[in-house]
Amino acid sequence: MKILKIQTLRGPSYWSIRRHKLVVMRLDLEELAESPSNQIPGFYQGLVGVLPSLIEHFCSPGCRGGFLSRVQEGTMMGHIIEHVALELQELAGMPVGFGRTRETSTPGIYQVVIEYQHEQAGRYAARAAVRICQSIVATGTYSAKELAQDLSDLQNYALDGSLGPSTETLVKEAETRGIPWMELGTRAMIQLGFGVHQKRLQATLSNRTSILGVELASDKEGTKQILRSAGVPVPRGTVISYLDELEEAVQDVGGYPLVIKPLNGNHGRGITIDINTWEAAEAAYDAAKEVSKEVIVERFYAGQDHRVLVINGKVVAVAERVPAHVIGDGRSNISELIEETNRDPRRGDGHNNVLTKIELDRTSWHLLDKKGYTLETVLPLGEICYLRATANLSTGGVAIDRTDDIHPETLWLAQRVVKIIGLDIAGIDIVTPDISKPLREVDGVIVEVNAAPGFRMHVCPSEGIPRNVAEPVIDMLFPSGAPSRVPIVAITGTNGKTTTTRLIAHIFKQTQQIVGYTTTDGTYIGDYLVEPGDNTGPQSAQLILQDPTVEVAVLESARGGILRSGLAFNACDVGVVLNVAADHLGLGDIDTIDQMARVKSVVAEAAMPNGYAVLNADDPLVAEMADHASAQIAYFSMNSANQLIRSHTQKGGLAAVYENGYLSILKGDWTLRIEQAVNVPLTLGGRAPFMIANALAASLAAFAQGVRIEDIRAALVTFEASSKQTPGRMNLFNLGKFHALIDYAHNPHSYEALGGFVRNWTTGERVGVIGGPGDRRDEDFATLGRLSAEIFDRILIKEDDDTRGRDRGDAAQRIHQGIQEIRPDANCEVIHDETAAIQKALDSATPGSLVVILPESVNRAIALIEARNPIQVVAPVVETNGYVKAIAPVNVVETAIAST
């Protein structure tokens, strides 16, 4: 077996709309391709011996018996690898349940799809599953040591990929409210929401958190000073920098008992409490000095350690924190009791678990020495032996919920303290013998105020009621009724995506909103190019959704990005599907037009139930997508008599049609006419049907999102389809004695659309400079040749600079063969170099002719045209008897009249 490729999907995809975390492995089964599992000697027994827990696995509904029954009866190795990969993640503590296995059109090549919780763990599990199955095939088993290592590695990947308990709590609360989120990839920051409505978190710091408040809270002595001056009970203490200052500091705070701790520290590091001797004070100073240059010496106050969590000015949870300890059972020694305590499945390493494992340090030995104990000491039944001086959960402590016990005066004081320090989210550490009584009555004090407090002690206390402390944080960031998303309009299809995307963006600009949009020629925000390139995948979409200025996102979503990574968003408000045609077939294991339609339907199915799927009623493959969409449906059609449109609107549905020369919106019994096609520059005076269809789709998508008809009309009549705005989309140039047209048509569907315009050119010769991307099928090149023979009088065949793995000259030869099938005597010349072919066509152009250039590099082709100084722009075509007769000049330099 051989792994050919592993891809990670992170959003709605070809494989699943609801499950956004999937790994797709392309696998060559080689010699096992023809060997079902029941024909591999000893395989079943070996698999059960290695992973007996597979007995719990079942296949898809309707399958007879469980997974292991299928293995006994005979199933393909790809299917087995799928289940093994899922089970490995389950055993490593990451339960996942979705998987798929499909054979591709290439014999022996399979696609294995598995769900993951953590990306690197999912990819590792896929590879490990192949190793395990290979080993069982070859040897009948897989060593227990290697399996243990695999599970350990998976657990480490899970640990590395985890958000942390506090962040995860906040993210889960956001998810329950339908608020999208994403990791920003720097400083462990999380973005909640999209665009202008986004908020950011770093653990429990929010974008509302005051930097002054954080700095003050980090300065423990400064915090005490400002609180003391406000009449808040705080420990008496001082700050020192050198050991020779310690003796005077002890006297200043009133003598023993003491607390010595670092000025800048966290998680209880370097803190020593209840110090009663000079020797202990010196050791405590040294421990604190390892953490901070300056050291706090404070009076020690007896009592329990409490953490009071205040969010947005309100106390939301209180926990009593008990230091790490063990309780005697009369039989076990202290070492054994620690081991037993650490077996609690809630305990783990670091801060990512509900509880942290107990580990001994300097203070642990000190506490044991004070009691005359060693690790071999057997504790009497019920005796508590403390192993840490501080009560932090990160050092093995436990938490007891006391939210209902706090005295009203202490609650008021905590809320006041947070306002004094200036934090939106804060954890106040209070030492008091009784949290149910006012602090001054029981000699209680506020010890610290902490920015970015941990939530796990409140969410998962060891005892008491769990508190949903994430809820008030999300309430603060997104008050009731506040939006978290910007409108997302996603556009896909075989042809017309870029033009429709640009037009939709132009329509939304009429509403005075800042529009972010992605296209095949770049990523834009407002009127500015942010990043050039073919930016129709998830990375570019995320750039738009992460931008804090964007108010509307219009995202061209191409086939490649959907297959490679899935969509960049969990759902869109409007999903537009323009058409489905035979292009890119044979790539990415998409071999049929029905499979391609399934890829495109991801955009329609990702539209939210209260949003719209905008579908082409004239394309049966697109119209059928309504059956799987959960959103409302809106159809567009070039035929006002389309039966689907009529039936849909009679039921109150929304549609857009081309009727009586108008682009119109239909709903129920009423018709809203937007504008006559002849007044829409994009449609070339109404003579480019494919452009009318694009304009209908764009208008319908905007109308469904609440844009006024007046704004749509203003956009349609002002959309400047120039080579600056829609490069490579039917850009027509007047070069004096002839015209040149640049278009990015590169598949049969777009050739046919282009041909409808070119065939009407009657003033002279029609010359085509044609080619196609090298990664298309052989038959696709032949089809381009046949279509070109029907469109052009003279043809120059060129090739792309990037042949995409095809031998130089092969694509041109296959196009030439297609031309000869239709016109054996066609005036045809092969010039492999694109620049040379374009120059030859322009140099040899005859008066009144039209040179049509279908380039690989649009910018290069435009530059070659502009170097010839086009002096006038084409204006509306003057037509006689339905044919192009002449081009009327307009007194400007250049324009482009249509786009595909």
Q: pLDDT for 360-387, tens place per residue?
A: 888 788 889 888 899 999 999 989 998 8
Element (H, E) at 684: none
The answer to whether residue 344 scores a pLDDT higher than 60 is yes
**Of 219, 188, 193, 222, nearest in space to 205 by CA:** 188
Contacts of 669 (CB under 8 A, 6+ apart): none
User: 183 or 804: whose pLDDT is higher?
Assistant: 183
pLDDT in tens, 227-245: 999 999 999 889 999 999 9
Decide the pairing of beta strands 850-853 and 739-742: parallel
Averaged pLDDT, 563-583: 92
Averaged pLDDT, 172-189: 93
> Which pLDDT value is given to residue 192?
98
CA distances from 567 to 14, 34, 222, 459, 704 (A): 10, 35, 49, 33, 21
> Which pLDDT value is given to residue 36?
92
> Which pLDDT value is given to residue 874?
37
Specify the amino acid at residue 545: L
> Which pLDDT value is given to residue 744?
80
**DSSP calls for 223-264:** HHHHHHHTT-----EEEESSGGGHHHHHHHTTSSSEEEEESS
> Which pLDDT value is given to residue 690?
87
pLDDT in tens, 15-48: 999 999 999 999 999 889 888 999 999 999 999 9
The answer to whether residue 268 scores a pLDDT higher than 80 is no
> Which pLDDT value is given to residue 226?
97
**Of 378, 494, 499, 537, nearest in space to 751 by CA:** 494
Task: Output the CA angle 493-497-502, nearest 5 degrees.
Answer: 155
Specify the amino acid at residue 227: L
The answer to whether residue 461 scores a pLDDT higher than 90 is yes
Residue 672: both structure tokens together: 């809203």
Average pLDDT, the chain: 89
Task: Output the CA angle 782-787-788, nearest 5 degrees.
Answer: 95
**DSSP calls for 322-354:** E-SEEE--SSSBHHHHHHHHHT-TTEESTTSSS
> Using CA atoms, how far apart are residues 489 and 702, in angstroms rounded to an integer?
9
Percent share of the chain, pLDDT over 70: 94
pLDDT in tens, 471-522: 999 999 999 999 999 999 999 998 889 999 999 999 999 999 999 999 988 9
The answer to whether residue 266 scores a pLDDT higher than 80 is no
The answer to whether residue 310 scores a pLDDT higher than 60 is yes
Sorting pLDDT into bands at 50, 70 and 90, what band is 586? low
> Which pLDDT value is given to residue 722?
61
Averaged pLDDT, 767-785: 87
CA distances from 879 to 555, 687, 688, 890 (A): 37, 10, 13, 17
Specify the amino acid at residue 865: I
> Which pLDDT value is given to residue 873?
42
Percent share of the chain, pLDDT over 90: 67
> Using CA atoms, how far apart are residues 320 and 391, in angstroms rounded to an integer?
9
pTM for this model (two decimals): 0.83
> Which pLDDT value is given to residue 415?
98
> Using CA atoms, how far apart are residues 636 and 659, in angstroms rounded to an integer?
11
> Using CA atoms, how far apart are residues 874 and 632, in angstroms rounded to an integer?
41
> Which pLDDT value is given to residue 254?
87
Residue 879: both structure tokens together: 């037509």
Averaged pLDDT, 860-879: 67
Cα 843 to the center of its chain, rounded Å? 49
pLDDT in tens, 316-336: 999 999 888 889 999 999 998
The answer to whether residue 58 scores a pLDDT higher than 80 is no
> Which pLDDT value is given to residue 517?
97
> Which pLDDT value is given to residue 801?
87
Contact (Cβ atoms closer than 8 angstroms) between residue 327 and residue 382: yes
**Helices within 92-143 (DSSP H only):** 119-139
Tell me which of 120-129, 215-224, 577-586 is least confident.
577-586
Residue 738: both structure tokens together: 């002839």
CA distances from 502 to 319, 515, 518, 606, 896 (A): 55, 10, 9, 21, 14
Tell me which of 179-188, 722-731, 818-827 is least confident.
722-731
> Which pLDDT value is given to residue 680?
92
> Which pLDDT value is given to residue 884?
41
> Which pLDDT value is given to residue 804?
84
The answer to whether residue 140 scores a pLDDT higher than 70 is yes
> Which pLDDT value is given to residue 352?
59
> Which pLDDT value is given to residue 885?
40
